[in-house]
Chains A and B, each alone.
Chain A
Amino acid sequence: MQFLLDGIDSNTASTLLGYARALTAEENAELFARALDRAPGNARLALGAAISYQPRVWFNPELRSTQFLVPGLIGLILMLTAVISTALSVVREKERGTMEQLRVTPLRPLQLLAGKTLPYLVISLLATAIILVSARVLFGVVVKGSYLDLFGATLLFLVGHWDWGCSSPVRPTAGDGVPGGGGERDPTDDLPLGFIFPLRSMPTRCRL
């Protein structure tokens, strides 16, 4: 009997492997007991396991947790560096009053936003590349898919996140997200996003 498991989430895969092993052993014991009753005396010695247990773990055969954590780390670092840094750079301009000075320049709002976001976009893509190289060198995590898809998704994420921040009804201050600034981010806020722990293993209330 063959069990195919998705090994990306190593915790869940380990639990499932344990269940599969227990089920196989239980079924084997029953089959063995039945066969033992029916077999003649000299044939009993030849009885072996009726079901051969052969698990196959896909995508992460060694069930290493780093395979799950490293992509989550990329998302977390991008969110902290790119998104929050960009937001803070705009908010600081507003708090210091320099945003008014920028507004009287010939710059259009779109150009102003582009000037604020594009440098961070380039930095974020570079950061992604550095993390990927580090993940490969330090943890042996290799990108199996296309780099084009990876950076395309990163681009969508960054622009989507900035847009999400722009359209948010909350008007943050520069103190938000900065330790000691009065509006510290609680690290547990990010847990329900699946950075560190698999979403499926969380209680429903925490997933929302």
Chain B
Amino acid sequence: MSIWEYANPRKFLQSSERVMPVLWLSSGVLISVGLIWGFFFTPDDYRQGSTVKIIFLHVPAALMAINAWFMMLVASLIWVVRRHHVSALAAKAAAPVGIVMTLIALATGAIWGQPMWGTWWAWDPRLTSFLVLFLFYLGYIALWEAIDNPDTAADLTAILCLVGTVFAVLSRYAVNFWNQGLHQGASLSLDEKENVADAFSNPLYVCMAGFALFFLALVFYRTGTEIRARRIKALLARQRQEA
């Protein structure tokens, strides 16, 4: 069986409807367990106090904000190369999820930053590149809505996605590239000295897995909706032609 079979909208809908209940359930369980564990059963940090509990939302949301863009990039490239409509629609479906993740990362970061840095916002490389990523998400969604022809919209948004990838990469590595600003480095690292303590990292891993599955569940569901919306357009066009 080839992965390209899922480029058939009917096959995609059938398969995704089988997988989605598992994704919804497992993501709900993992996010609940991770957040309850992180909120109720982790100690305060010796410097950040109880604000460290915000990490369980901030880090998974930021991770998914960046990864959603990369998923959109892969789907857009598949559209550009192989012209599979499902991949273009999957990229379209992922954008609103990605923008909400970006918004959560920005909001929780600002709320945390106020007491810790003494400011809601700083023009720090990582914060700024994240804000630009948010604007790219806005532009991407607006471009899909602005163009009537779905194939033209898919082509142009694929180009925008390619350009925006620079900022998705910058968002991830801005701290390493510039080595300045207020934002700290990666919370999770293979280097034990840099990594956060196990008391925080274990529930954080659970939250990250939960957010990843939640993202997949939403994207599968939303792609199904986009496939149906496209079919409605096609049926209406056929009806107009026949009339």
A binds B: no
